[in-house]
Chain A
Amino acid sequence: MGIDSLIGGTIWDEYSDKVTNLMNNPQNMGEITEEEANEMGAKLIVADFGAESCGDAVRLYWAVNPETDKIVSSKFKSFGCGTAIASSDTMAELCKDKTVDEAVKITNIDVELAMRDNPDTPAVPPQKMHCSVMAYDVIKKAAAQYKGVDMESFEEEVIVCECARVTLSTLQEVIRLNDLTTIEQITDYTKAGAFCKSCIRPGGHEEKEIYLEDLLSDYEKEKLAGKASLGNSDAPSGDFDTMTIVQRIKAVDKVIDDNIRAMLVADGGDMEILDIKENGENVDIYVRYLGACSGCASSGTDTLYAIENTLRDKLSQSIRVLPL
């Protein structure tokens, strides 16, 4: 609650000016034909990601110089909302003049950061991050195509819900820790299954290797076998770098609870953890300031250092804290 949540508003209010401008005038929108690629002495790569039934789809065109592996031209087409168009445009821009190997390192977060007007304010509301920023996947598809390898060779994790990008390990963990028994609960906790719904059970528009229903019945069997550890709400101990995402969130939450939250609450604010992602050598923790903190100028700098240093100290030196 609080005044901001009572007033509400629309998601358009949360778009950065850059997002707005790119939606109005995308810079890299268009196609690259075989002929154009040939003229550049480059190999044409065309990769698709997403589905119209999920609400967002993107097609990425690359012209790649086969001698240097450099992306000499990069364009996109997109079915999607404003943020899908703006982020696809930004992604195409970021790919330019990079080698394919460099491009593979571009993440959705990089795209989002590039669309910010100032470093501390997110370019898009959090719920848009999941579904409309699709850089990561489509670039990997393009790269896999260029190298003639399987896309999985770039994927560290099995994604069950493509729309909300929820991994198998996250789902298994969330189901177990919260003792979930229904699809609705899974959707409430993770957003998995909220969108195109094809990950819920066979018969959707997209065939999956594993469905949410399978996960629930696996867990049910596990419980029957007496193997499940229920209601384990204690923060896990051990090496942060080898924890699963849910264990990490719990560990971070505990450190914040024990060391930081009281300080924020004393000033009339609070914070929440939005996501934890591995980013190369770093573990990036995305947080959002709430209440008084959200408008406070120092929340971007002083408080941030304090939080980051505490988390590094207690958990892992690889942690970076990024406010969204």
Chain B
Amino acid sequence: MTVYLDNNATTIVDPHVFEAMEPYFVQKYGNPNSLHAFASETHPGIKSAMEQIYAGINAKREDSVVITSCATESNNWVLKSIYFEYILTGKKNHIMISEVEHPSVIATAKWIESMGCKVTYLPINNEGIVEAKSVKEYITDKTALVSVMWANNETGAIFPVEEIAAICKENDVLFHTDSVQAIGKFPVDVQSFPVDYLTFSAHKFHGPKGVGALYVKKGKELMPLLHGGAQMGGYRSGTLNVPGIVGMGKAIESAVEALDFEMTNIRAMRDAFEDELLKIKDTFVVTPREKRTPNTILISFRGIEGESMLWDLNRAGIGASTGSACASEDLEANSVMEAIGAAEDLAHTAIRFSLSRYTTQEEIDYTLKTVHDAVKRLRGISSSYAYAPEGHESGLAAHH
């Protein structure tokens, strides 16, 4: 049996999405900008996909939703655009992001910082949540942009972006939110709060990889990213990714239709799964589940290094994830666990299970059984759970 529980990383493409995309490879392959029927026959598909995408986040027709290649591109674009528009020109000298943003925001902010801009990294509280009051605390009349993700990829923690956006508006500061983990998890309505820029990506909600989007409210600045043939209103030239756009349209429509199912059924499945996991001795979750996306669990198993747990899960055909040290290229500890100030010995023990509307109860039961076996085996190996003779002075710093 194989079980995919890494849906915050990417998702399976909905077969209906795949079906919608298929004609745009071999049949309707024309370049939409050309002047012939091969081009024209792609137009209805693009148009209805764009309508679906606008409807998916309730954008107004006069707003822009620019299609990009990924959320990383959208995030880079907003921050760099702000840099060229406000920082380089000397109009403003400060931006704020949360300390647990996606690397595409953090690394871009660091680059901007290296160019002489002040960057505030907003802290998270012990529930893993950025508080709106800290935005109030650090905002100045020189702040150009605040960028705070809507939901955190690692913990699933939902951040109070409506409140933060309101503070930004009061202070005449632009607000961007990386909503990659929000679409399809809870309703996203850009008219319900004063958001200026919003990022999302199709492959997080059962659409294809390689298709991101950036919502830009009417009248808000955006510097053109790719100069060339003036596609996407001249903001992002390059031949349109027709199948990708069609796929994103169908995917967001399906994701919005499935919202109730996600917020009720998947949530219930997640909650029951989490209850069972927490019955295992010495396990911890950080963010209370009602403050999380309905599909995510980040759980620590004391005494078991994250990569080891992934290893045993993988041997049993289960894909989960860990942001912790040993499983990633750079070997750094899980940034959220560090930021929360979790007990140091837990920073390397967090495992993330992220469900989707395709997850079945049978898969969850099988995963639970596997986790029990893995915990038994790996705690058997673990020095944290090991025998030490009386009077042995442990050199393990974690035993304090």
Q: How far is the CA of A85 from the CA of B387 in the complex (A)?
A: 17
Known A52-B348, A81-B307, A82-B308; contact A59-B383, beta-carbon cutoff 8 A? yes
- When distances are taken between beta carbons in the complex, the residues of chain B under 8 Å from A31 are 386-387
Known A57-B396, A59-B388; contact A26-B381, beta-carbon cutoff 8 A? yes
**Binding stretch for chain B, among A42-50, A292-300, A309-317:** A42-50
- When distances are taken between beta carbons in the complex, the residues of chain B under 8 Å from A56 are 305, 326
B382 at the interface (CB under 8 A from A): yes
B344 at the interface (CB under 8 A from A): yes
Q: How far is the CA of A85 from the CA of B395 in the complex (A)?
A: 18
A84 at the interface (CB under 8 A from B): yes
Interface residue ranges of A63-77 to B (CB < 8 Å): 76-77
Decide if A206 touches B331 in the complex (CB within 8 Å): no
- When distances are taken between beta carbons in the complex, the residues of chain B under 8 Å from A23 are 308, 311
A323 at the interface (CB under 8 A from B): no
Taking a contact as CB atoms closer than 8 A, the residue among A11, A47, A78, A127 that contacts B395 in the complex is A47
Taking a contact as CB atoms closer than 8 A, the residue among B381, B384, B392 that contacts A85 in the complex is B381
Interface string of A122-137 (1 = CB under 8 A from B): 0000011001100000
- When distances are taken between beta carbons in the complex, the residues of chain B under 8 Å from A178 are none
Decide if A78 touches B382 in the complex (CB within 8 Å): yes
Nearest CB of B to A56, in Å = 7
Q: How far is the CA of A46 from the CA of B388 in the complex (A)?
A: 7
A221 at the interface (CB under 8 A from B): no
Decide if A59 touches B386 in the complex (CB within 8 Å): yes
Decide if A55 touches B389 in the complex (CB within 8 Å): no
Q: What are 9 A-B pairs with beta-carbon distances under 8 A? A: A34-B389, A46-B388, A54-B348, A56-B326, A76-B383, A77-B382, A82-B307, A82-B326, A132-B326
- When distances are taken between beta carbons in the complex, the residues of chain A under 8 Å from B396 are 48, 50-52, 57, 59, 79
Nearest CB of A to B213, in Å = 25
Decide if B308 touches A55 in the complex (CB within 8 Å): no
Decide if A57 touches B384 in the complex (CB within 8 Å): yes
* Closest Cβ neighbor of B385 among chain A residues: A77
- When distances are taken between beta carbons in the complex, the residues of chain A under 8 Å from B383 are 48, 57-59, 76-79
Decide if A81 touches B308 in the complex (CB within 8 Å): yes
A324 at the interface (CB under 8 A from B): no
Nearest CB of B to A93, in Å = 15
**Which of B's residues lie within 8 Å of A, judged by CB?**
303-308, 311, 315, 324-327, 329-333, 344-349, 380-389, 392, 394-398, 400
Count of residues in A whose CB is under 8 Å from the partner chain: 43
- When distances are taken between beta carbons in the complex, the residues of chain B under 8 Å from A77 are 381-383, 385-386
Nearest CB of A to B375, in Å = 13
Taking a contact as CB atoms closer than 8 A, the residue among A29, A50, A51, A55 that contacts B331 in the complex is A55
Most-contacted residue by chain A among B304, B344, B381, B385 (CB, 10 A): B381
- Starting from the known contacts A59-B383, A127-B329, A195-B325, 17 additional A-B residue pairs (CB-CB under 8 Å) come to A46-B389, A48-B383, A51-B397, A53-B344, A53-B345, A53-B397, A55-B347, A59-B396, A76-B383, A77-B383, A79-B304, A79-B398, A81-B325, A85-B308, A128-B326, A205-B397, A206-B397
Nearest CB of A to B321, in Å = 12
Taking a contact as CB atoms closer than 8 A, the residue among B344, B384, B392 that contacts A46 in the complex is B392
Q: How far is the CA of A194 from the CA of B303 in the complex (A)?
A: 22
- When distances are taken between beta carbons in the complex, the residues of chain B under 8 Å from A26 are 381
Taking a contact as CB atoms closer than 8 A, the residue among B326, B389, B398 that contacts A57 in the complex is B398
- When distances are taken between beta carbons in the complex, the residues of chain B under 8 Å from A79 are 303-305, 382-384, 396, 398
- When distances are taken between beta carbons in the complex, the residues of chain B under 8 Å from A132 are 326
Decide if A84 touches B331 in the complex (CB within 8 Å): no
Decide if B308 touches A127 in the complex (CB within 8 Å): no
Most-contacted residue by chain A among B344, B347, B388, B395 (CB, 10 A): B395
- When distances are taken between beta carbons in the complex, the residues of chain A under 8 Å from B386 are 31, 59, 77
- When distances are taken between beta carbons in the complex, the residues of chain B under 8 Å from A59 are 383, 386, 388, 394, 396
Nearest CB of A to B370, in Å = 14
A33 at the interface (CB under 8 A from B): yes
Known A79-B303, A141-B395; contact A55-B325, beta-carbon cutoff 8 A? yes
Q: How far is the CA of A100 from the CA of B332 in the complex (A)?
A: 35
Decide if B305 touches A81 in the complex (CB within 8 Å): yes
Decide if B387 touches A33 in the complex (CB within 8 Å): yes
